Structure 1
Amino acid sequence: MKYLIDFIVLGILYIFIFYKKWRLKGKAILFINTTMYIYLSFVLYFTLMPIIVSIPFIFNHSYVPMNLVPFIDVLSGRGDFIRQVGLNVIMTVPFGFLFPLTKKENSKFLKTVIYCFLLSLIIELLQPLISDFRAADITDLITNVTGGIIGYVFYLIFRPLTNKILEFIKDK
């Protein structure tokens, strides 16, 4: 139920703001931006939700500072670090692939990496504020950016195919 409120708000934002704006720009832009919106909604689900019901309690727990020792879990063998590293990389691969497609001009590698870094940094800084059981970790930041880089490589590899698909969508 707590998650439902967040998804309702995301749905309302999409329908009344983004859909109207993107629809006017054409089917291809609507398709890519909607895909990116859905992807980012799932990122929010896995990293920060529930958000809205957590807002009143943000200051009711202590903020644990970010762990600034890269790969400490890996080096000390704590927890399920291989799974965590893998999931953090996988989570941002779609961002690295989709972000360049959302731009009219060819998005540069550095711009994609910077936006992936900022997305990850914002998530990492907000996680401990929104929830007692989430922590910010520099390893997550590093692995998320790595995932974005891998996604960008996929974007470069599949750019001719995605251009054809977008042209097909545009013509329909």
Structure 2
Amino acid sequence: MTDQRAPALRRAATVAFVLYLVVLAGAAFLPLPIGQMERGTGPAYDLALRRPDLLGGWETQRNVLMTIPFGLLLPLVVRWRYEALVLACVAVTLLIETVQLVVSAAVGWAWRAFDVNDLLLNTVGGLLGLALTALVLAVVRRPALPPVRRLVPAGAAVALVAWAVLATVTTPPPREVVYACDEPPAGAVTSLPGGASAYAGRDGSLCLRAAGGGTASLPADGVAGPAMTYERSDGTWELGTAQRGDVVTAGRGGEVVELHAVDGSGALVWSVRR
């Protein structure tokens, strides 16, 4: 790259970088919490690191894509050592998450959540941008091999990106969703009071059938509780599920409701007139 072209490239990269920072700030902090419906109380945070899946949906891909331009443009704007560029990629996403947490604490509700997984994915995006720029510059300039001490942060960055990619390609396929009411019973059908019935699907999911023909499919690991209501000539009936050891009563202080086992499912079902 000639000396005449280098200043022009830096000026163009600087303008693009400033515009990018404006867009990044808008994506990270807009809309502001003013006038929004409050959600929860106090700031929210998620410190449980989950397996990254770069193909897991737009939210994941957005977190990676939004910082790729940062890594692409920063080496063209500043003449920092590679170690400093890597730290800058980490620092910018840490700053975003911290500001979101502080503002949430200031307004008293969960405007944005501090999410360590967003921190990881944003960092991966920045490092991918650095890698792309480094690759292009290496082809254009053909620099000598850097000293080993400079390869350490580069190796750590490559390892982080490789881990995210490997976790993505080895992510097991999502479990098939079974709607028990769309399938024939996997076992015996359980009759319930009020003309209702229940049976299990092939994966342990439940199908509740009301006397009038209404149905409710419940996953095998669903939360116990009321599932549906239906009307009969003798009043309103309610169907629900419970776990072994639960005690269900017909209203506060009411009589204990009988729980029924379902063949092929670990859950219990009940039916009561309200």
Shorter-chain TM-score: what band? 0.5 to 0.7
- Pairing 1:109–2:82 present: yes
Would you say the 8 A contact 2:44–2:112 is kept in 1?
Answer: no
Q: Distance in 1 between matches of 2:63 and 2:130?
A: 16
Q: Corresponding residue for 1:34?
A: 15
Q: Cα distance 1:107–1:62, how it changes in 2: closer, same or farther (>3 A)?
A: same
Higher relative contact order, structure no. (Cα contacts within 8 Å, ≥ 6 residues apart): 1
TM-score by length of 1: 0.60
Q: Deviations over 1:64-102 (max 9, x none)?
A: 24311112797xxxxx95322211111111111111111
Q: Which has the higher strand share?
A: 2
Q: Cα distance 1:46–1:161, how it changes in 2: closer, same or farther (>3 A)?
A: farther
Would you say the 8 A contact 2:68–2:127 is kept in 1?
Answer: yes
Count how many residue pairs are aligned between Structure 1 and Structure 2.
126
- How big is the alpha-carbon RMSD for the aligned residues of Structure 1 and Structure 2? 3.1
Q: 1:69 aligns with which of 39, 42, 48?
A: 48
Please give the secondary structure, in 2, of the residue aligned with 1:71. coil
Q: Which one has the largest radius of gyration?
A: 2
- Pairing 1:97–2:97 present: no
Q: Which amino acid aligns with 2:25?
A: L
Q: Distance in 2 between matches of 1:45 and 1:149?
A: 21
Would you say the 8 A contact 1:100–1:108 is kept in 2?
Answer: no
Q: 1:144 aligns with which of 122, 132, 139?
A: 122
Would you say the 8 A contact 1:92–1:144 is kept in 2?
Answer: yes
Q: Distance in 2 between matches of 1:39 and 1:73?
A: 25
Q: Corresponding residue for 2:233?
A: none
TM-score by length of 2: 0.40
Q: Corresponding residue for 2:239?
A: none
Q: Report 1:1-172 matches (<5 A).
A: 27-50=8-31, 62-71=41-50, 82-103=57-78, 106-130=79-103, 132-159=110-137
Please give the secondary structure, in 2, of the residue aligned with 1:136. strand
Q: Which amino acid aligns with 2:27?
A: F
Q: 1:27: Cα distance to partner?
A: 4.2
Would you say the 8 A contact 2:43–2:111 is kept in 1?
Answer: no
Q: Cα distance 1:82–1:50, how it changes in 2: closer, same or farther (>3 A)?
A: closer
Q: Runs of 5+ in structure 2 lacking a partner?
A: 1-6, 35-39, 105-109, 142-274
Structure 1 stretches of at least 4 aligned residues deviating more than 4 Å after TM superposition: 160-163
Q: Cα distance 1:114–1:64, how it changes in 2: closer, same or farther (>3 A)?
A: same
Q: Which amino acid aligns with 1:117?
A: V
Seq. identity, %: 25
29-38 or 127-136, which deviates more: 127-136
